Structure 1
């Protein structure tokens, strides 16, 4: 605790110095003579071009363009971002390497992007290099989802939509009400969405010994999923007589899933599957509630102080039952499984932004504190069956997470050509966990100091041409579920489907990073950005799969080092640049090439976290007075990846073609027609475990459907 206090005290002193210097340089406020006011509007391109930190903002119009049912669907088209299932990735890395924030804070348990309606989002920030203001748990980068803020005017909006596919429907309704006056504003957004999905997929498992096929079977699965999502967000703002602003916002996200699956297997050779006929039923109830209040004061000198306090709670209940029979109908398994996760806590943030000094400095200092309590319980019960061992367990995990971060940063316009960003953030985390598997409480403490330096150079004599350089230190704290001893039994236990266990001795991964890029900007909407980056990751967390007794078990450990390299090219331009008589069509493209290697794993293909070699998007948008349309093709490379000496996997290259058309109707109504996944690429993957005893291979085939979505919106 003494070292903990010393770290925070030192950071507080560092945070205070630039602001104190800035305050000393601020002149006393003097009356300003009446002059004509000139309003200068900042576009997305100019804001990105002049930002010393490497930040890209995706506005509401771009997010809503395709009429997506969820934010997750919209994110997959963002430049340099890929989505694998529900995992959002930058530089091809997920699993905590890409930091996902909501209003600058980590999303609570139970929060899912596929359950968040796009109408609740004001903008999405893509931050490729770390900044001190946000947590530096961002080795690959940060995606910050900023929820809707105070409305600019009174208004009402209603959206009705339905998505249709071969075996899928997805109706939704969204409404927004807003009012604004001299004293403040009021806004309420609500969204309700329902999804019915009936996927089917195939799985083939093989086992070879001495190169000879000893066992092989094929499993066919029919699944039914019913999912309902509710989003509710009221927001109030007040402008006080002193000129201070006070705001209050509450966000409720709730989801309910019900479904099941029927698996039937066919034995090709050998013994085949342990459970030839396996039936599953499940239910998932998630709810997260976050309420926050903020206060902002602006000083006559141009300085600004703000603070925000929030409380949150989330509940996730999951239940599942399985029963299995052999080919003759004999009952082999009758299992119930229940998981309850409850998370609650509070955060307190604040910052002081000094006025920009005469020498071009804009210092900021602040803090970010949080306290979280989590309780998790896993219960598994097997009905007693003759000759079949039971695997009952009741595991309870209690965890407390305390964190405190202090930071200071300074953006400095050195002259007309040079701008710099310097930042320092110190984060201290303390995790206390107890579980029925581990017995005694275990305490893990981490203290990470993250210095950050970014430089922007506008080439002299080359208008709107510039270069960037960033040096960062980031980290990835071990996920709470991975440092807690909580054993999970798989139904079919094999090396490619092992049981799961935790490791309380895990330490954070740390990374030294360098980013460099060159940017060309011409007229508004025309840009070419070429960037390269490197991450050197130490204390890498990897899974080890071992045979313990009669069961295969996977557990994480800090092993080795990884190097990650990325090259990214982004371009956009209106079509009339190439063809003077062209209609109002905007072209855009993005291409990312990734390389990575992990020490201790033989190559080739020893890439980190299943990182794809490349990803690319290309799109075009037409905007007319009465209608607009566009399309985007997104591709993510497949191929082989080796995750350990014994394990490797393969996925196919995935292509997704989305298109939309929007029509402005009478009485301020808008009709939007969109289609997604028009190429209907089948998802295929393979997992292989190979050791001295033999080779296990599992192969998955999952067809996909094109989805047609109709959306009508009315404004008044």
Structure 2
């Protein structure tokens, strides 16, 4: 029996509302619905754009690109760090794996134009910093799914809507440069244009931008908290690369229907260079205290593209739509690490070895989907039904070569003999659904059923494993329009999370968790969650909105690590050494001889299994409005605050979901000066602490405050210049690591190592010129 039922979780969320959320008060002023915004005109005018009030019955927050654009975001990740409940546990100035409600990125569904896209993450996540901000029209945060969308969205979904030829008219050119703390300057160039071409409408865009992030890290290591100092590591970490993207859209009426074609391609070239030195003293860089010199270089090339075609037409008294799409993610990475070690048992430390490791990764993730849907009136309601077909093929080849020098001064031998592992994971899905929606007085409603089937085949080094699973996913959404300005919403939905690819792959990974090994299980079942969202939203004047949302997720069949009972490679090696030593002292001895060693391992082979349950709950507040009520129509403010919590049981007791931030706060303002043709603004972000407890390791992550600012000058209706500054407070990432060899050591708090790590980066300044036409 679960210790916390759904009702108790909701009660907790309600109980903390007054304690966890700053109070936002706004005067009800009434007024008509917000006017539509001309996206092209906003490029050079001073009009401040706010969070949109979505018309969807399902709880959805919609943010047009101009909500973010004043701060000149480079990627979708830079955009998402400003919206409610989205957290990141990445390096400083990196915003890659979006964690909606603070949960692992694998619990968040990332959509592009409403369709899933493959990514490189083993947890099925998609790195949102791979999509340039220039190709985006708006971002939607879908808090609870409907039946006509894929159900793998336990935390919710983020829909990235690209610019469409049917909605966008005109164009612009963007030129700029960014200057980083170490003096490096990178360029950015983009152009977008759209208009009529014969009977069709066409949009095209191209973007090229330099990506750069210089960081410094310092790690202090001890044998235990408060214990004896062991070593210090100083590291420089530079990520240098460039992104190039192209996006196209074509829309044309053909016969009684409309044809739409779209595509986006993103190419990433990136080099990550780390240089580290270890010393046996807390401060100082004297050669007599040097323990090791380590250099690591990763050369990364990623190609990501998606194409989609759709045709909608009237049929049988309703509207029918056929969609086809194909997405591909290619990742080719060569990682090389070399290290020179020194033995501090001598004074000064003597040369103790020179070794290198090269790892070659070739990943291809293809996803093909087809969808057929039909909408038609059903009395006073609307009926929609359809089926989604998806085929995923993920091929991964991993090669590892290790070499070492025999004598001091010798170069490393060539990387020749690679230990290669091939894996291929294929998934076929057939997902039919049925949905009804309608309006009854002041009540908008929607309800539906979706049945998702997953046929999985895992092939590793010639061995194949298959697993089939089906799950029924009901959903229901209610929105009560209390007044023209106030509405209350309630959503219930069942969702799923499919297992991470590394948890499905039966490959033995030695020393994956301390001294413990790990092997995946291809028969893992999906996690499922029953969720509820309860929200209230109030419109402030014509353009403002404030909302409060409570959410709860009851997660079943949670995937956790379990002990197979098999001894680890480390334990077997120690036992063999013990037997060899015994035989050397007792020639001719055999098993059963007095004193003959008995295998008594303290580290094991672990696997993943569906063994647990968990719950996630929290409160989300968002405010976005001009200060009309105070006579300041040219001043806009925004604030969102999320209080997040969860419970999971593991072998050590109760904890939160790993790396779930305790809170996320964003607050800022924008001021337009129409008489001067200028604008300026400030944005402040603070993310709460995150904790993770894994087998043999526990981590606490803390981020400093992030401050951004911009100032803009406009010249007529076509030219604008923006200067932005990010990371103006020199935010740092501070981590505390508790490391152990075995689960027994972790329970007894017998540390292998205790580490304090700090990572920091300086401010980044960007100058951008835009010309609209």
Query: Which digits, 9 at most, give the CA deviation of each residue in 1:407-454, with x for residues without a partner?
Result: 122221011x21211011111111111113xx5211122212110011
Structure 2 gap ranges (5+): 1-32, 38-48, 91-95, 121-125, 283-287, 343-349, 572-602
Question: Which stretch of structure 1 is more off in the superposition, 618-627 or 126-135?
Answer: 618-627
Query: Which digits, 9 at most, give the CA deviation of each residue in 1:695-715, with x for residues without a partner?
Result: 132221101221111111112
Query: CA shift at 1:527, angstroms?
Result: 2.8
Secondary structure of 2:223's counterpart equals: strand
Equivalent residues in 2 for 1:560-575 (5 A)? Answer: 560-575=612-627
Equivalent residues in 2 for 1:112-151 (5 A)? Answer: 112-151=127-166
Equivalent residues in 2 for 1:190-339 (5 A)? Answer: 190-208=206-224, 213=227, 216-240=230-254, 242-268=255-281, 276-298=292-314, 303-327=318-342, 328-339=350-361
Q: Indicate the structure whose relative CO is greater, using CA pairs within 8 Å and at least 6 residues apart.
A: 2
Aligned to 1:444: 467
> Are 1:588 and 2:638 matched, yes or no?
yes
> Whole-Å Cα distance in 2 between the matches of residues 347 and 263 of structure 1?
45
**Change beyond 3 A, Cα 1:139–1:118:** same
> Are 1:161 and 2:190 matched, yes or no?
no
Query: CA shift at 1:628, angstroms?
Result: 2.3
Query: CA shift at 1:82, angstroms?
Result: 2.1
Aligned to 2:649: 599
Does the CA-based 8 Å contact 1:536-1:562 persist in structure 2? yes
Aligned to 1:457: 480
Does the CA-based 8 Å contact 2:341-2:353 persist in structure 1? yes
Does the CA-based 8 Å contact 2:517-2:568 persist in structure 1? no
> Whole-Å Cα distance in 2 between the matches of residues 46 and 109 of structure 1?
28
Secondary structure of 2:67's counterpart equals: helix
> Are 1:694 and 2:712 matched, yes or no?
no
Does the CA-based 8 Å contact 2:117-2:367 persist in structure 1? no
**Change beyond 3 A, Cα 1:46–1:126:** closer
Equivalent residues in 2 for 1:404-423 (5 A)? Answer: 404-415=430-441, 417-423=442-448
Query: CA shift at 1:127, angstroms?
Result: 0.5
> Are 1:349 and 2:371 matched, yes or no?
yes
Secondary structure of 2:57's counterpart equals: coil
Structure 1-normalised TM-score? 0.85
Query: Which digits, 9 at most, give the CA deviation of each residue in 1:538-558, with x for residues without a partner?
Result: 111234699823287775332
Structure 2-normalised TM-score? 0.79
Secondary structure of 1:61's counterpart equals: helix
> Whole-Å Cα distance in 2 between the matches of residues 433 and 451 of structure 1?
29
Aligned to 1:3: none
**Change beyond 3 A, Cα 1:649–1:457:** same
**Change beyond 3 A, Cα 1:112–1:646:** closer
> Whole-Å Cα distance in 2 between the matches of residues 354 and 204 of structure 1?
65
Secondary structure of 2:134's counterpart equals: helix
**Change beyond 3 A, Cα 1:331–1:473:** same
Aligned to 1:174: 190
Secondary structure of 2:650's counterpart equals: coil
Query: CA shift at 1:513, angstroms?
Result: 0.9
Aligned to 1:685: 735
Secondary structure of 2:98's counterpart equals: strand
Query: Which digits, 9 at most, give the CA deviation of each residue in 1:364-409, with x for residues without a partner?
Result: 2222111122221111111255599x99621110121111211122
> Whole-Å Cα distance in 2 between the matches of residues 645 and 489 of structure 1?
14
How many residue pairs get aligned? The number is: 657
Secondary structure of 2:105's counterpart equals: coil
Question: Which stretch of structure 1 is more off in the superposition, 275-284 or 688-697?
Answer: 688-697
From 688, 698, 712, the equivalent of 1:637 is 688
Structure 1 gap ranges (5+): 1-38
> How large is the Cα RMSD of the aligned pairs?
3.1
> Whole-Å Cα distance in 2 between the matches of residues 607 and 56 of structure 1?
26
Query: CA shift at 1:229, angstroms?
Result: 0.9
Secondary structure of 1:375's counterpart equals: strand
